[in-house]
Structure 1
Amino acid sequence: MAQIGGWNVDTLRRRAEQLRRVLAAEPGPEPIRLTRVRAELGNVWKSRIAARALDQCGLLVDDTESRTRQWIEHRTATLPPGFRDEVRDWLLALHEGTPRSKPRAEATLHAYYSRVHPPLIEWAHTRSHLREVTQADVTAILNRLTGHTRVGMFVALRSLFGFAKRHRLIFLDPTRRLRVGAPPPRALLPMTDRQIDAVTATAVTPLQRVVVALVAVYAARAITLRTIVLDDIDLPRRRIRIGGTVHQLTEFTHDVLEGWLTHRQQRWPGTPNRHLIVSADSVLATEPVPDYHLTWHLGLLGIDLEHIRGDRILQEAIAVDADPLHLTIAFGLSEKTAIGYSVLARNLMQRPIETTGRADDNGVM
């Protein structure tokens, strides 16, 4: 692990001492519980290397709850008694999935809960159970909202009450006959020269540059970047496969990729991880980097990958006279999404915009 991770002598000595502490605390022949490792070393970050070493030796038992389950238990514990169990079961079903539905992303759970929490607290003053909530109660909440906030609230409440009705926790679904219509189109404006300059000045490391370049040139999503493997890249032929679509590498993206791959090889020459994007932690295994390694880390630096991606698609739509078929082929967009970008492009082409700094054919901004 030290050889793969490129640890120096001090790092190796420190992590070996942490492993000795864990082994000394559990002298018996039984496998060591993960909660015990974390209790001995202080937190999840410090214990990850020791836990991984024990796991590779067959000496670790994971007795922890998932972080999402812990979050669900913590959040729902503060709800009024008449709503607590139903909301917890609903969130657990979203998290774990059902025979008819796939598990939802953690971000979806956070968004749904943040939307239903205020009305639940308000209803608790006059209602003692979820089954007592009426259609008039839901309508009163929705009538205070507009736009995407209104639609988002309705979607979350419909999910909650739909789950409760299917599991016979309520008698009637108060959202069943309600309609809020389609959400208004989101406003997306091209990036300004100042925003482009800020991203260019901030993305300076080889990893930051390759991530921003692939998003800015090929409109790749962060989740797609995480799944790209080395076999998807052909530098001699200047090709890259992103999400099943093969793209031709420009001079700009070729140089950025070559720089990152050179850095990757020099930093972690023995890693078994075949993914293009790796971190100091992921090089010790074979899994892709977690989502926060890209979106959250770059977000702290002020780099919004989704904004860069949307700007790239919008500029392409303007360049091809808002042709949705071209956008579908070029970026693998759904028909609905491609049409949405085409509508935005037509609206922008009808009025002048103050944006001139754009990536040229070589990806140079």
Structure 2
Amino acid sequence: MRGKGETRCLRCRRRHDLATARRRCPRCGRDGYLREHTGWCGPCSHPGSAPKPAAACTECGRVIRGGGARLCNRCWQRRPQRPYTRAEHLLAELDDPPNWLWDFTIHVADRYCPGQATALVSQLGALLRTEPRAMPQTLLDRARIPGRSIGSLAKMLEDFFTARGLALPTDQSQRLAAGRRARRVQAVPEPLRPAVAAFERAMLDERDRARRAGTRPRADTTIDKRLAQIRDLSCHLVGRGIEDWAQVDKAVIEDYLAEVSPAGGPLGGLRHFFRFARRSKLILIDPTAELRVRTPRGFHGRTLPRSRQRELFTRWCTSTEVAPNEALVGLMALIHGASPHELRHLQLADIDPQHHTVRLGRRPHPIPLDPATWAALTRCLEHRRSGTHNPHVIVTSRTRSGRTPASRPYLSRLLDPADTTISTLRASRLLALAISHDPNLIATTYGMSAEGVLAYFADRVDPTLLADL
């Protein structure tokens, strides 16, 4: 509002008065409000303290301008004392600090750089200020973040607490598996989805009973594979106009198997589902009961010729540009027939430096290593020594700070620069041994079953082993 004789309101009049009061400063030449005691604007009337002289960093000697700091920013970020200093301040701030706080600081300082370790201690301090008397299990649950990863702080707390018996491990793997199963069930078309959801619950119940009975329960990967097979079948059925499991007959299953896999690959998963559907009264007749897929016996996987094996052996023994993990994994699979599971779970405790042997998986006896493989193993151990407490030999950037083995996708892509896979190298080695050696000896050496070794036998014998007739 404005007065009767005014042309501007109160707010606009104040703005106008302030604008007309601005004058040009005779010192700096900028518009401002001149002070009466100096005749200059505010910045010129109060210039502040003089800048501090430049000084050299006490660590690297780099010149630090505009401040009196003893260390430059680079040296400060790398200073090993940072997490311990932050922990000392945190111990002084808390009225009743936990007795494991200093040990946790040492735990993270040995596994992370000083900056990341300091950040983890600060995050833990924020949780302790909120709940000073929280139990370790409560702190672990509150430190978790939603998503595929529980966060660096939760991982460190889980590793630290479980190693000392202060808390139980998280159920992150079960949550991720439940999310994968839910995505596969949701991908099933709506008319066929309730039966697949019931099939999922039945498989989980069977796994719980197997665990209580002490038998071999199904792994998460097996359940995921079963659900993926039924999901693909349901999408195929809806495309053919079938929206009820009772309408599925033998001819439909045969057409689907011929389209997906001529060898009948997913038939085992389909048999499992339709047996469940028949027990649950969803269908009257099992369409897979009379299906018989004749597959040729023997090994039909990929192998490498001897010339290619020599090239790979030369690459992993002589090239200095090859990653240490790639050389070790390649030679172990090529010469000793190591499987991805054996390589993932190979630990430092399985290595005998005195006799140059290692223990692999379920093999009953230690495996003596040849000089080339032992040199690759030594190089891999020297590469992993820097700042890791992981007991496994194959360590990645993600598992360096924890105790878990390397992931399956990492091993599956590790030999991509060499254009081969671990399974191909292992199959080449087993096939060569099966032709020229006793199958019982191979099964005993590699910890395999007799049926598994018989699959590698061919219909020929090495001619060099035949006696002269």
The TM-score range, normalised by the shorter chain, is 0.7 to 0.9
- Contact 1:34–1:60, Cα closer than 8 Å, also in 2: no
Match of 1:315 among 415, 424, 432: 432
Q: Sort the Cα spacing of 1:182 and 1:35 in 2 relative to 1 into closer, same or farther, 3 A.
A: farther
Distance 2:261 2:400 in 1: 46
Per the alignment, residue 86 of structure 1 pairs with 195
Shift of 1:91: 3.7
Distance 1:145 1:192 in 2: 33
- Greater share of helix residues, 1 or 2? 1
Match of 2:349 among 213, 223, 231: 231
Q: Sort the Cα spacing of 1:237 and 1:33 in 2 relative to 1 into closer, same or farther, 3 A.
A: closer
Q: Sort the Cα spacing of 1:279 and 1:139 in 2 relative to 1 into closer, same or farther, 3 A.
A: closer
Match of 2:145 among 38, 51, 61: 38
Per the alignment, residue 115 of structure 1 pairs with 229
1:253 corresponds to which letter in structure 2?
T
Shift of 1:138: 2.0
- Give matches, 1:1-365, under 5 Å: 1-5=107-111, 7-16=112-121, 19=124, 31=138, 37-39=144-146, 44-45=148-149, 47-55=150-158, 56=160, 66-94=175-203, 97-100=207-210, 102-124=216-238, 126-144=241-259, 147-148=262-263, 151-182=264-295, 185=298, 186-191=300-305, 193=307, 197=311, 200=316, 204-242=322-360, 243=362, 244-268=364-388, 271=389, 273-282=390-399, 284-298=401-415, 302-318=419-435, 320=436, 323-343=438-458, 346=460
Q: Deviations over 1:336-364 (max 9, x none)?
A: 332222217x38979xxxxxxxxxxxxxx
Distance 1:310 1:301 in 2: 16
Distance 2:387 2:285 in 1: 60
| Seq. identity, % | 22
TM-score by length of 2: 0.60
Q: Sort the Cα spacing of 1:316 and 1:103 in 2 relative to 1 into closer, same or farther, 3 A.
A: same
Q: Which is further off, 118-127 or 195-204?
A: 195-204
1:342 corresponds to which letter in structure 2?
F
Q: Which is further off, 64-73 or 186-195?
A: 186-195
Distance 2:402 2:340 in 1: 20
Structure with higher Rg: it is 2
Distance 2:262 2:227 in 1: 19
Per the alignment, residue 363 of structure 1 pairs with none
Structure 2: runs of 5+ lacking an equivalent: 1-106, 465-469
Shift of 1:310: 1.1
Task: Report SS of the residue matched to 1:277.
Answer: coil
State how many pairs are aligned: 336
- Contact 1:69–1:92, Cα closer than 8 Å, also in 2: no
2:248 corresponds to which letter in structure 1?
V
Distance 2:426 2:355 in 1: 25
2:348 corresponds to which letter in structure 1?
L
Q: Sort the Cα spacing of 1:338 and 1:115 in 2 relative to 1 into closer, same or farther, 3 A.
A: same
Shift of 1:161: 0.9
Q: Which is further off, 186-195 or 330-339?
A: 186-195
Shift of 1:20: 5.7
Q: Which is further off, 95-104 or 303-312?
A: 95-104
1:153 corresponds to which letter in structure 2?
P
Shift of 1:8: 2.3
Q: Sort the Cα spacing of 1:181 and 1:293 in 2 relative to 1 into closer, same or farther, 3 A.
A: same
Per the alignment, residue 361 of structure 1 pairs with none
Distance 2:321 2:439 in 1: 31
Q: Deviations over 1:60-87 (max 9, x none)?
A: 9958662121111122113223321222
- Contact 2:188–2:235, Cα closer than 8 Å, also in 1: yes
Task: Report SS of the residue matched to 2:359.
Answer: strand
Shift of 1:162: 1.7
Distance 1:315 1:2 in 2: 48
Shift of 1:16: 4.1
TM-score by length of 1: 0.74
Q: Sort the Cα spacing of 1:112 and 1:184 in 2 relative to 1 into closer, same or farther, 3 A.
A: farther
Shift of 1:219: 0.5
Per the alignment, residue 20 of structure 2 pairs with none
1:48 corresponds to which letter in structure 2?
G
Q: Which is further off, 295-304 or 246-255?
A: 295-304
- Contact 2:301–2:427, Cα closer than 8 Å, also in 1: no
Structure 1: runs of 5+ lacking an equivalent: 351-365
Question: Per chain length, whose mean CA-contact separation is higher, i.e. which structure has more relative contact order (CA < 8 Å, sep 6+)?
Answer: 1
Q: Sort the Cα spacing of 1:54 and 1:233 in 2 relative to 1 into closer, same or farther, 3 A.
A: closer
Q: Sort the Cα spacing of 1:133 and 1:211 in 2 relative to 1 into closer, same or farther, 3 A.
A: same
Q: Deviations over 1:176-221 (max 9, x none)?
A: 2222123564143324645764663698232332222222221011
Q: Deviations over 1:218-248 (max 9, x none)?
A: 1011112233333322121122222333222
